[in-house]
Amino acid sequence: MNQDKAATRSIRFLAKGEATIRGAANRERVLLDGADRGVIGVASEVLDDLARRGLVVIDGAQLRLTQLGVSAARREAAPVHAF
């Protein structure tokens, strides 16, 4: 999966609520545990990029969208031809 698709997938997942960051078998990846929403795997570099861009905030083991990230999630969820 390319980095843009992985970032979009992560944003969509986090749009439904925060997640707990857990280690994965592969050191270059982490698991995002959304409790009843399930778990997804993502490359650590994707999360680092989202944080650098101000879309997510990492607070200890918790990960959540910033206001900018919420806006990005809304844009992503909008129909292609909104008008």
User: How far out from the chain centre does Cα 65 lie?
Assistant: 7
> Two tokens at 71?
């806006």
Question: What residue ranges do the domains of the chain occupy?
Answer: 3-77
**Residue 24 — very low, low, confident or very high, per pLDDT cuts 50/70/90?**
very high
Give the ranges where the chain is alpha helix by DSSP (H): 3-15, 44-52, 67-77
> Two tokens at 65?
């969208």
Q: Could you read off the pLDDT of 25-38 as tens digits, one per residue? A: 999 999 999 999 99
Among 40, 65, 36, 62, residue whose Cα is nearest residue 50: 65
Q: Give the architecture-level CATH label for domain 3-77.
A: Orthogonal Bundle (1.10)
Q: Could you read off the pLDDT of 27-73 as tens digits, one per residue? A: 999 999 999 999 999 999 999 999 999 999 999 999 999 999 999 99
